[in-house]
Amino acid sequence: MIHLAQTTGGFFSWEWVFNHLDDIWDRTVEHLILTAIAVTVGMLISLALSLIALRYRWTYSPITWVTGILYTIPSLALFAFLVPITGLSILTAEIGLVSYTLLILIRNTVAGIDGVPAATVESARGMGYTNRGLFFSVELPLALPVIIAGIRIAAVTTIGLVTVTALIGQGGLGFFILRGLNLFYSPIGTTQIVVGTIVSVALAVIVDLSLVGIQHLATPWSRGRAAA
Amino acid sequence: MIEFLGEVLAWFGDPDSWIGPAGILNRLREHVQLTAAATIAAALLAIPPALWLGHRRLGGTFVVAVVNIGRAVPSFAIVVLFLPISIRLGLGIGFWPTFLALLFLAVPPMFTNTYTGVAGVDPDLVESSRGMGMTDREVLTKVELPMASPVILAAVRVATVQVAATATLGALVGWGGLGRFIVDGFSVRDNVLVFAGAILVAGLAIFLEVLLGWVERRVVPTTLQSRSDIVETVVA
């Protein structure tokens, strides 16, 4: 309660920001690395599970059921489940982060492939495409807009969740938020909370726009037709 | 590992873990009360304007922007950010910063889902209702609202689960609730407490999701049920 009485002065200190630009940069890079690992691993696992679900239809419902439960578990609880097993490590953070990407990525991959017109698949078969060639040269490219839409959601969600991993000793920009929490009664604390929040949101927006750009480059045939 | 799970079970078996102000029952009550208060307040704030704007088909671009930015804002950051804000507003620590953060996080998805639900009603249907002589008000209450009800109910379910999940983080800003076990467990390095807390928090979230999903299926006519697929979901 003594702390509360000391709550005076400004809310935001530019001085702190200018003195810690290196620090902010390092944490931003760490944040991006944690995100990139999670989304990449999530994509690989999701692609494998989507292929299984597409090949054996009956597996789709149990796969979405399990990944749906993972998605429902609050992040702090999921990390808490893992800490007794894998400790306060980057592995704990990544297992949790990857778990949250699966539902979105699998749903969009399966929906994307299902959305490829039957006539297109027929013509490709008529042209002599084998199963594998059909999947990689026809179905996957045509499903890309829907798949990338899933990757965008997964990436933006992961960037937000990385901040929570500060509580288990990781965190990227979440580090500032957690340190700000411990110094909440002073401008130094509130500044760090604000910086952690704003840079993390900015990162999400930049990554999201970059993925829109990648989609634009990767699917030249859909330009001008499909908006977003 | 077996030994560890045995300790967790023993913790749940101990009556002292359940009773008293720091017991499971009281923490659960705190958690559920705050979740209900924040969800109801958010619904009252979000749904009426969303119905009206959706009915007028106004502000679609704004809605898309809210959805995109809303997903990018980390709930952890918002809970922490509302601590100094609440103190400066003279509301102190604990309940208020958590409540305000939950409100802030629950209003946008509830607003956008309701908006999308109403604005997404088949224009032909709206047109024919007007042709039948319905007033503006009747179109909204007798056509658009029932048609959008599955989406609105799904939005309430999603928001409730998200609020219950985020309420866990309230333990970081002096609030009780089930998150207390995890946060306290972390600070005293008691893995049994951490794990037990995780079971309680995850159990509550899954329970709410299943319960509200069941209510939804009971209430919404089967012919309208597929529409709830368009609801935006968020992890907390």
Question: What are the distances in angstroms from CA B170 to CA A73, B105, B162, B175, B229?
Answer: 16, 13, 13, 5, 30
pLDDT tens string A108-141? 999 999 999 999 999 999 999 988 889 889 999 9
Q: What DSSP state is assigned to residue B64?
A: H
Winning range, highest mean pLDDT, from A55-59, A181-185, B58-62, B90-94: A55-59
Q: Is B86 exposed, middle or buried (0-12, 13-18, 19+ CB in 10 A)?
A: buried
Rg of chain A over all Cα atoms, to the nearest angstrom: 22
Q: For residue A65, how far is the Cα from the chain centroid? A: 20
* pLDDT tens digits, B32-45: 999 999 999 999 99
Q: Residue A221's pLDDT is what?
A: 80
pLDDT at B227 > cutoff 60: no
If we measure between CA atoms, which residue out of B200, B172, B98 comes closest to residue A163?
A: B172
B102-115: pLDDT as tens digits? 999 888 888 888 88
Domain coordinates in residue numbering, chain A? 2-222
Average pLDDT, chain B: 87
Q: Is B146 touching A (CB cutoff 8 A)?
A: no
Across the interface, do A80 and B74 touch by the CB < 8 Å criterion? no
Model confidence over B52-71: pLDDT tens digits?
A: 888 888 877 777 777 767 77
Share of chain A above pLDDT 90, in %: 70
Q: Which tokens belong to A213? A: 């750009």
Question: Looking at per-residue confidence, does A227 or B72 come out higher?
Answer: B72
Q: What is the pLDDT of residues B151-190, one digit of tens each?
A: 888 889 989 999 999 999 999 998 989 999 999 998 898 9
- Backbone φ and ψ for B89, nearest 5 degrees, come out as -80, 0
Nearest to A42 by CA among A65, A62, A71: A71
CA distance A197 to A157: 14
Q: Is the pLDDT score of B93 beyond 60?
A: yes
A50 has a pLDDT exceeding 90: yes
- Which SS3 state, helix, strand or coil, does residue B221 take? coil
Contact B198/A80, CB-based, under 8 Å?
A: yes
Q: Where are the domains of chain B?
A: 24-230
Sign of the torsion formed by the C-alpha atoms of A164, A169, A170 and A171: positive
Average pLDDT of chain A to the nearest whole number: 89
Share of chain A above pLDDT 70, in %: 94
CB B109 within 8 A of CB B234: yes
Measured in angstroms, the CA of B133 and the nearest CA of chain A are apart by: 36
pLDDT at A4 over 80: no
**3-state class of B149 per DSSP?**
helix
Give how far B69 is from chain A: nearest CA, Å: 8
pLDDT of residue B72: 81
Task: Give the CA angle between residues B216, B217, B222 to the nearest 5°.
Answer: 125
CB–CB of B46/B54 below 8 Å?
no
CA distance B145 to chain A (A): 28
ipTM, 2 decimals? Answer: 0.84
Which of A62, A16, A56, A54 lies closest to A176 in space, CA to CA?
Answer: A16
pLDDT of B235 reads 59
pLDDT band at residue B194, thresholds of 50, 70 and 90? very high
- Report the pLDDT averaged over residues A1-29: 76
Number of residues that make up chain A: 228
The fold of B24-230 is MetI-like fold (1.10.3720)
CB–CB of B68 and A75 under 8 A? no
Per-residue pLDDT band at A37 (split at 50, 70, 90): very high
Instruction: Name which of B197, B206, B236 is nearest A75 (Cβ-Cβ).
Output: B236
CATH class of A2-222: mainly alpha
| A2 pLDDT more than 70 | no
